[in-house]
A = this chain, B = another copy of it.
Amino acid sequence: MKARRLSKAIQIGSVTVGGDSPIVVQSMTKTDTCDVMSTINQIKELKEHGCELVRVAVPDAEAARAIKEIKRGVALPIIADIHFDYRLALMALDSGADGLRLNPGNISQPDKVAVIAHAARERNVPIRIGVNAGSLPKPEKPKQTIAQQMVAAALKQVHWLESLDFDLIKVSLKAFDVPTTVEAYQSIARKMPYPLHIGITEAGTPRTGIIRSAVGIGTLLHQGIGDTIRVSLTAHPREEVIAAYEILKSLNLRQHGPVLVSCPSCGRAEVDIVKLAEAVEKELIKISKPIKVAVMGCVVNGPGEAKDADIGIACGKGKGILFKKGKKIGVIEERDFVTALMREVGRF
Contact = CB atoms under 8 A, between A and B. Distances in A.
Interface of A: 1, 28-34, 39, 55-59, 63, 81, 83, 103, 106, 132-136, 176-179, 182-183, 201-205, 207-212, 214-219, 221-222, 232-237, 240, 243, 246-247, 249-252, 259-269, 273-274, 277-278, 281, 294-296, 298, 300-302, 304-305, 308
A305 B264 contact: no
Contact of A182 (B222, B259, B262): B222
A2 to B, nearest CB: 10
Query: Mostly helix, strand, loop or mixed at chain A's interface?
Result: mixed
Nearest to A273: B234
A234 B202 contact: no
A295 B208 CA distance: 14
Given A134-B305, A204-B277, A304-B134, A212 B246 contact: yes
Contacts of A237: 264
Given A63-B267, A263-B202, A215 B218 contact: yes
A229 to B, nearest CB: 12
Contacts of A31: 267
Given A218-B219, A234-B274, A261 B133 contact: no
A251 B179 contact: yes
Given A210-B210, A211-B250, 12 more contacts: A32-B267, A132-B304, A133-B308, A134-B305, A135-B300, A179-B251, A202-B305, A204-B281, A208-B249, A234-B277, A234-B278, A236-B274
